[in-house]
Amino acid sequence: MTGFDFTRGDLEAAASMVHRQMGPTPLIRWPQISAATGCEVWVKHENHGPTGAFKLRGAITFMDWLTRTHPDCPGIITATRGNHGQGQARAATAAGLRAVVYVPQGNSAEKNAAMRAFGADLREFGTDFDTARVEAMRVAEAEGLFPVPPFHRELVRGVASYGLEMFTAEPDLDTVYVPIGCGSGICGVIAARDALGLSAKVVGVVSTAAAGAKLSVEAGQLVETDSARTFADGMAVRVPVQAAFDIYARGADRIVAVDDDAVAEAVRLYYRATHNLAEGAGAAALAALMQERDRMAGRKVGVILSGGNIDATAMAEILQGGTPAA
């Protein structure tokens, strides 16, 4: 059971709500990906959503909950490295609300531009996501805005709709690899698996440079890291979320760490084999599968391509064989 104990009906209702604003994303078996990894690989293409990442799903269900439970709320405030902020800005603006979004200094220029385009009042603060998050939560009360955390029941319920789509289409997956930032993605996959009564193993993936979730599971309690310097910004989190940890510590089979070079190679493989763009965190699941190729030989595996919002300069460097600096 998950920490939220969602039923299949809970997740089907969330999926119905999500699908009114976006279609289900493709789940594709790419032969060159399977050949490169030695197993039958199904890629869940969350890079095909309206914001180029899975986070919009949770934003849709969260904004529905917020407008019903806080009808006088003038707007929201949150922090992000980009994909969460795009989803929140799009959903809040569609609901007629303000959307204030904090990002760290030096954040992706192209993700920042996308957030502004979706209606965000974008503000830069601090040197990393966790510092920006603390500031956003502090400012919330002063400006009378609802603070949207990185992890919440309604965010996970919406995000779980991609897990529901995946497991409904391919219920006999042996293992699913999913990246971990603050945890809504992996918790959504666990929720969908459990609600459908399936036995697939769920493997979380972190960066070696931001391994808080892995270290926490190994220690049996939250472990913060001193930094989170990885170009895979969707995983660049120093401080794990307790509520998410409580779910993936029990519901995941294991947590795997991959370095930036492995992630860059997975970005290249996605491009060569499928001509899809994957951002760093979006390619991390495939990087982990490549790292565990011998262990997974011959099995039926799902990998979550969680987002494709990679800056052009970073993609150019990767295609030339390099690894972007954090």
How far is it, in rounded angstroms, from Cα 275 to Cα 30? 11
Q: Which residues on adjacent β-strands are paired with residue 178? A: 204
Q: Show the domain range for 61.
A: 55-147
Model pTM?
0.97
> Does 26 reside within a domain?
yes
Residue that terminates a domain, selected from 83, 113, 147? 147
Rounded Cα–Cα distance for residues 99 and 91 (Å): 9
What is the distance, to the nearest Å, from the Cα of residue 228 to the centroid of all Cα atoms in its chain? 16
Whether 74 and 138 share a structural domain = yes
Helix, strand, coil tally for the chain in percent (to 5) = 50, 15, 35
pLDDT band at 2 (very low <50, low <70, confident <90, very high): low
Give the tens place of pLDDT for each residue, 153-175.
Answer: 999 999 999 999 999 999 999 99
| 65 and 91 co-located in one domain | yes
pLDDT given at position 43:
99
3-state secondary structure of 178: strand
Domain boundary among 124, 147, 170: 147
pLDDT digits (tens, 9 = 90+) for 83-134: 999 999 999 999 999 999 999 999 999 999 999 999 999 999 999 999 999 9
Asked whether residue 17 falls in the same domain as residue 65, the answer is no
* Cα 293 versus chain centre, distance: 23
Indicate if 23 and 77 belong to the same structural domain: no
Look at residue 4 in the predicted model and tell me its pLDDT.
87
Confidence check: pLDDT of 77 > 90: yes
Q: Does residue 141 sit within a domain?
A: yes
Q: How confident is the model at residue 3 (pLDDT cuts 50, 70, 90)?
A: confident
Does 325 fall in a domain?
no
Summarize the confidence of residues 258-262 as an average pLDDT.
98
Which of 147, 174, 205 is where one domain is finished?
A: 147
Checking if the pLDDT of 59 tops 80, the result is: yes
For residue 128, what pLDDT is reported? 93
DSSP string, 210-251: B-HHHHHHHHTS----S----S-GGG--SS--HHHHHHHHHH
Quick check: is 3 in a domain? no
CA 292 to chain CA centroid, nearest Å: 21
Residues 252 and 129 in one domain: no
Q: Decide if 195 contacts 7 (C-beta within 8 A).
A: yes
Q: Are residue 133 and residue 255 in the same domain, yes or no?
A: no
Q: Is the pLDDT of residue 53 over 90?
A: yes
Residue 326 maps to a domain: no
Is 256 a residue whose pLDDT tops 50?
yes
Mean pLDDT along residues 11-17: 98
β strands within the chain, DSSP E = 27-29, 40-45, 75-79, 98-103, 121-124, 146-147, 175-179, 201-207, 254-258, 300-305
Q: Does a structural domain hold residue 244?
A: yes
Q: Clarify whether residues 191 and 285 are in a common domain.
A: yes
Same domain, 199 and 272: yes
Mean residue pLDDT of the chain comes to 97
Please report the sign of the dihedral spanned by the C-alpha atoms of residue 175, residue 176, residue 181, residue 182.
negative
Domain assignment present for residue 187? The answer is yes
Residue 29 domain flag: yes
pLDDT at 1 over 50: no
Checking if the pLDDT of 179 tops 90, the result is yes
277 with 224, same domain: the answer is yes
115 and 89 in contact (C-beta within 8 Å)?
Answer: yes
Question: How many domains does the chain contain in total?
Answer: 2
Residues 44 and 166 in one domain: yes
Q: Same domain for 184 and 117?
A: no
Please compute the mean of the pLDDT values over residues 16-24 and round it to a whole number.
97
Q: What's the order of all strands across the beta sheet hosting 146-147?
A: 121-124, 98-103, 75-79, 146-147
Which residue, among 134, 200, 188, 146, has the nearest Cα to 164 in the 3D structure?
188
CATH number at residue 252: 3.40.50.1100
Tell me which residue of 294, 232, 220 sits closest to 257, measured CA to CA: 232
Q: In this structure, what DSSP letter does residue 18 have?
A: H
- Does position 208 have pLDDT exceeding 90, yes or no? yes
**pLDDT value at 282 more than 80:** yes
Q: Which whole number is the average pLDDT over 292-304?
A: 98
Q: Are residues 73 and 49 in the same domain?
A: no
Average pLDDT of span 29-57: 98
